[in-house]
Structure 1
Amino acid sequence: MHADPIDQARRLVRSRFPGALSVVLAGSTATGRATASSDLDLAVLIEDGGVTYRETIRFEERVVELFVHTPTGLLELFAADVAARRAVLQSMYASGLVLVDADGEAGRARALAEADLRAGPPALEPETVDTKRYGLTDALDDLADASDPIERLAVAGYVVNTAADLLCDHHRAWIGGGKWLPRRLLEADPRRGAALLEGHHHLCRSGDPAVLISAALKVLDLVGGPLREGYRRTWPGTIGPAAAGVWRSRPDTPPARAGRDVQA
């Protein structure tokens, strides 16, 4: 018989974080979807003066992901998650199971998390949207022309990720990676999101890209359509004038080579 994961989480907290301000158990365990091999995701709030960190450990034969932070660190992590448009930690606090709540600290953290989730992620800059439109347009051309099945699958993965990013931005919805990509995508737009996912699934099963191409083009139509001619991006520079001197002084600078096949 497998140990109850919630009881395991409580034992871990008692032994490792006896002075925690709050502890929230998130992930599949908190939602009742845990399996025997599911890990434990714990958001642990400790006093200022401590160290904010993430660590993976094993406790009683179960993998545990620890998200440990001070109040100041939590605010910084929330801000970073908003900037990344992912809100991972906010989702943990908003939907997790509270195991420790000293003086209402867990409630305060949850209120901040829920406020971020309601506000939604920041919009992508117009230049970034255009860059993603251009990349997706180019990838769809490659997908239509691809004859190598391995390359076709690689391009299809890029298409799904980029189209999902554009679709979520269009709806000002949070994005996700891994298993959270389809979940966030379906939350953002059940119809178009499902079409993208089904198109990718169909391509993986049959090798036929037509369904995925059609679904991705519908996303492009929402954000200005395909972009080829007229796209222009300038490089702002990050090194400064000294770079020219370094370039001229390098003895191993290779000569320029002509060629059409440029690696992305």
Structure 2
Amino acid sequence: MNDQEAVEAQALRVVRELFPRALGAVLGGSAAQGRATATSDLDIAVLLPDSDIGRREVIRHETRIVELFVNTPAGIGEFFAWDRARRRATVLFLYGEGLTLADPQGYVARTRRLARDLLASGPPELTTAEWERGRYVLTCFMDDLVDSPPDPGRRYEQLSLADHVLRAASDLVTAHHRAWTGIGKWLPRRLLSADPALGEALLEGYRIVAERADPLPLAAAAKEALDLVGGPLREGFGHRWPV
């Protein structure tokens, strides 16, 4: 048994040991793509009968951390709608791109078709208010980044601002291309997939801030991102309470 087969076998043991009534299960993430290391966690989506309750659980099984995404057939449509509205589609991607572990009655196959259809439709478009708020937020962070002090004793401020600029710019760029966004390691992956050239400029600018304390390349890339969606927004922005 090779390493990938061992990972899949462990994932199936998790399902059989913890969910003997499961209607089916899917393995996602790096483990499903053959890129799991000895310390990688397992992302497993499990479908249970409608008498059960949807939930997320994190456990340790043998030597691995396992993240469980539990749903029922009756609730999966509403859950997918919520997941799509977040624009990250975490569980949609798990079903859409994962590896089927078990599907004795065809529930997983139907759920995977639904997930793939929703992924193909892309995330919902931003409202006018969301576009304006996104432009305003990125403009504020970009301006603060340019003005961030070079004083080594305050570098944490510059690094924090760089982080916010990258995230805010990524959200706008992916939204502009009607592409999915992400967090953590998925942020650069989704960004580069949506716009390779501008994504590379933003990520390279971020690296330069971290390594050289020079904010200008990242600010320039952020300005390019803003120009895609109407330009910087400062005076004239407003909204009613509550947001």
Match of 2:224 among 218, 223, 239: 218
Q: In the alignment, residue 62 of structure 1 is paired with which amino acid?
A: R
Q: Deviations over 1:180-211 (max 9, x none)?
A: 11111111111111111110011100000111
Residue aligning to 1:262: none
Q: In the alignment, residue 64 of structure 1 is paired with which amino acid?
A: V
Query: Number of residues paired by the alignment?
Result: 237
Match of 1:199 among 199, 205, 210: 205
Question: Is the contact made by 2:83 and 2:89 (CA closer than 8 Å) also made in structure 1?
Answer: yes
Give the Cα separation in 1 of the matches to 2:8 and 2:56: 20
Shift of residue 111 of structure 1? 0.3
Q: In the alignment, residue 79 of structure 1 is paired with which amino acid?
A: A
Shift of residue 232 of structure 1? 2.1
Q: Deviations over 1:154-204 (max 9, x none)?
A: 111110010000101101111111111111111111111111111001110
Residue aligning to 2:142: 140
Residue aligning to 2:64: 62
Residue aligning to 1:253: none
> Gaps spanning 5+ residues in structure 2: where?
none
Alignment of 1:100-179 (within 5 A): 100-147=102-149, 148-179=154-185
Name the % identity: 51
Residue aligning to 2:51: 49
> Gaps spanning 5+ residues in structure 1: where?
238-264
Residue aligning to 1:96: 98
Q: Helix, strand or coil: the match of 1:103?
A: coil
Residue aligning to 2:7: 5
The normalised TM-score by structure 2 is 0.94
Q: Helix, strand or coil: the match of 1:102?
A: coil
The normalised TM-score by structure 1 is 0.86
Alignment of 1:252-263 (within 5 A): none
Shift of residue 63 of structure 1? 0.9
Give the Cα separation in 2 of the matches to 1:58 and 1:139: 39
Question: Is the contact made by 2:206 and 2:218 (CA closer than 8 Å) also made in structure 1?
Answer: yes
Give the Cα separation in 2 of the matches to 1:188 and 1:67: 26
Q: Helix, strand or coil: the match of 2:80?
A: helix
Give the Cα separation in 1 of the matches to 2:234 and 2:104: 56
Q: Deviations over 1:14-50 (max 9, x none)?
A: 2222221110011111100000001111100011111
Give the Cα separation in 2 of the matches to 1:63 and 1:26: 14
Give the Cα separation in 2 of the matches to 1:220 and 1:7: 47
Q: Helix, strand or coil: the match of 1:49?
A: coil
Question: Is the contact made by 2:28 and 2:99 (CA closer than 8 Å) also made in structure 1?
Answer: yes
Q: In the alignment, residue 186 of structure 2 is paired with which amino acid?
A: W
Question: Is the contact made by 2:73 and 2:107 (CA closer than 8 Å) also made in structure 1?
Answer: no
Q: Helix, strand or coil: the match of 2:67?
A: strand
Q: Deviations over 1:88-116 (max 9, x none)?
A: 11100111111111221111011000000
Give the Cα separation in 1 of the matches to 2:143 and 2:28: 41
Q: Which runs of 4+ in 1 moved over 3 A?
A: none
Q: In the alignment, residue 25 of structure 1 is paired with which amino acid?
A: L
Give the Cα separation in 2 of the matches to 1:81 and 1:61: 29
Question: Is the contact made by 2:29 and 2:94 (CA closer than 8 Å) also made in structure 1?
Answer: yes
Q: How large is the Cα RMSD of the aligned pairs?
A: 1.5
Is the aligned partner of 1:38 residue 2:36? no
- Structure of greater relative contact order (alpha carbons < 8 Å, 6+ residues apart): 2
Residue aligning to 2:194: 188
